[in-house]
Amino acid sequence: MASNAVQSVKKLGVFERKGLFDKGVGALLPEAYKKFYKEWKLTEPTAVHYIPEVGKWKRDDLTGEAVPIQNIPLPLLYPKEHNRQLWGGEAVIQGFQLRDKHRRRVPHFWFPVLKRSVVYSEVLNKFFSVIVTDRTIQLINANYGFDHYILKTPACDLKSLLALGLKRKILKELEAGCPSYKDDPVIQSQLAEKYNKYLEAYTSDEIDWYGFSFTEACNRIKKQMEEGQQKIAFKHMYRAELIDKLRAAKLEEAMGQSLKSNESGLDPTWLRKMIPFSKKKET
């Protein structure tokens, strides 16, 4: 409690910048999407390109001094192409090489080795020709299948929008009870037995909002809201109102007229003669 108080005291008078979900359309996004976003962007991914040290402290070999272990991940680059491929957690690393003690450092990029291969999703019953890395295939093998790999791996490791989109599709398919196998209920039940454990982690709303980029999600919510409150042009509204009014008025009038005619018994053509601009044949 004390530390909380200290924190809040520290924050006093400090301007807090508005976050992604505090302003504009982002503020409208549902909690389900925010949860996914945290899993995707704000979680530390698995160390792929370096070997993290384990433990909290280590001793200096020479002096025996205890030093805390702080694993600071290597900054990674994700080019936009990676969103259409499955890199299995790999990324581009920009850095330098020191090839010789007496030479200036040399800039260097470490790229993942990409190749085109095929992955098969049992739930969707489809083959996908995608660009993958060796690590992706190894992870698929280690997880005993593409579906298991996609469903087990958190969004921070899947990273690419293709993988996340596939995960949403697979989850939706599982939720619907695998309609692609509607002719074969045996397989349907087998798949349910195999994969339904992964559904427990998500609510239906979370599945619906899973795997969209921030822009996509914003566009989606905007569209949804527009569809929700359908705007009608004033002219249409007023016209409808007028028609209603007129209808009501006509009804009243008709009622009144019928009463009157019964009372007076005047000829209706008399009235027509009184109307000044009526079309009348003049001979």
What is the 3-state secondary structure of 210-271? CCCCHHHHHHHHHHHHHHHCCCCCHHHHHHHHHHHHHHHHHHHHHHHHHHHHHHHCCCHHHH
58 DSSP 8-state letter: E
One-letter amino acid at 264 equals S
**237, 220, 241, 235: which is closest to 168 by C-alpha?**
220
Of 152 and 273, CB closest to another protein: 152
**Binding test (CB under 8 A) with another protein, winner from 29, 123, 140, 170:** 140
**Binding test (CB under 8 A) with another protein, winner from 27, 59, 66, 120:** 120
Q: Which helix or strand (DSSP H or E) is residue 131 part of?
A: strand 126-133
Q: What are phi and psi of 191, to 5 degrees?
A: -65, -40
> How many other C-beta atoms are found inside a 10 Å radius of the C-beta of residue 37?
20
**Binding test (CB under 8 A) with another protein, winner from 59, 105, 223, 260:** 105
For 82, counting Cβ atoms within 10 Å of its Cβ (0-12 exposed, 13-18 middle, 19+ buried), the class is: buried
**Contact letters (x/-) for another protein, 73-102, by CB under 8 A?**
-xx--------------x--xxxxxx----
Q: Are 145 and 198 in contact (CB under 8 A)?
A: no
Applying CB under 8 A, the span of 8-16, 71-79, 227-235, 271-279 interacting with another protein comes to 71-79
Of 11 and 245, CB closest to another protein: 11
Q: Rule CB under 8 A: say whether 70 interacts with another protein.
A: yes
Q: Interaction with another protein in 5-64: which residues (CB under 8 A)?
A: 35, 38-39, 42-44, 46, 48-51
Q: Rule CB under 8 A: say whether 191 interacts with another protein.
A: no
Of 54 and 232, CB closest to another protein: 54
Q: Rule CB under 8 A: say whether 112 interacts with another protein.
A: yes
Q: Write down the least CB distance from residue 84 to another protein, Å.
A: 19
Q: Write down the least CB distance from residue 201 to another protein, Å.
A: 3
Q: Are 210 and 36 in contact (CB under 8 A)?
A: yes
Residues near another protein, by CB under 8 A: 35, 38-39, 42-44, 46, 48-51, 67-68, 70, 72, 74-75, 90, 93-98, 105, 108, 110, 112-113, 117-118, 120, 127, 133-135, 137-145, 151-154, 157, 194, 197-198, 200-202
